[in-house]
Amino acid sequence: MAVLRIFHYPEPVLNQKAQPVEQIDGELKILARDMAETMYAAPGVGLAAPQVGISKRMVVIDCARKDQEPQLIVAVNPEIVEEQGELFEEEGCLSVPGYYARVPRSARVKVRYQNLEGQVVEQEVEELLAVAFQHEIDHLEGTLFVDHLSPLKRSIFRKKYKKMLAQQQEQM
């Protein structure tokens, strides 16, 4: 098992549309395991392959609370097939460390994906798990949660983020 490097905004791989997975093989299963290990180590509730520099349509998600058993979902070629309702939850991202913002999302979604055995799974999810699926699928489209902000808030984000990065560089 390996903890992989998480790519941070504004690295170009984060703005590229990921390629569909054509074949579920041993290499993909190792990538899924390493992505899960990376997500847990970060710690986060989701991670998409582009966040570790790999342009494949695969995500790992686990929204279990710390006092619960892990509930890892590995979703290959995930897509949202139905959306209902709306909510505004504060989101963060492992690729945009230290920044959080309220983003509009659907309250409930039906997702379709393949598991690592190649079986097609359809699942209706809500609340945090629905937000996590939408957030991670956005990564597969080359979209970050900050891209959902209004132009003004996005401009403020860029300024704050550049300042934060500059401060981190000074501390090194």
> Which residue in 116, 110, 61, 122 sits closest to 82, CA to CA?
110
C-alpha 2/C-alpha 57 separation (Å) is 20
Mean pLDDT over 112-128 rounds to 97
Catalytic, out of 79, 127, 136, 141: 136
User: What's the whole-number average pLDDT of the chain?
Assistant: 94
Q: What residues have CB less than 8 Å from 98, skipping those under 6 apart?
A: 164
Q: How confident is the model at residue 14 (pLDDT cuts 50, 70, 90)?
A: very high
Clarify whether 22 is annotated catalytic. Answer: no
How much is the average pLDDT of 32-52? 97
Domains of the chain by start residue, with CATH: 12-171 (3.90.45.10)
Residues 6+ apart with CB under 8 A from 39: 45, 46, 47, 60, 62, 94
pLDDT score at 120: 98
| Residue 63 pLDDT greater than 90, yes or no | yes
Handedness of CA 118, 24, 35, 13 (dihedral sign): negative
Query: With 90 as the cut, is the pLDDT of residue 160 above it?
Result: no
Does the pLDDT value for residue 51 go beyond 90?
yes
- In the chain, what percentage of residues exceed pLDDT 90? 84
Nearest-angstrom CA–CA distance, 136 and 43: 15
Residue type, 106: S
Q: Would the pLDDT of 52 be above 80?
A: yes
> What tokens appear for 99 in the block?
């920044």
The pLDDT value recorded for residue 171 is 82
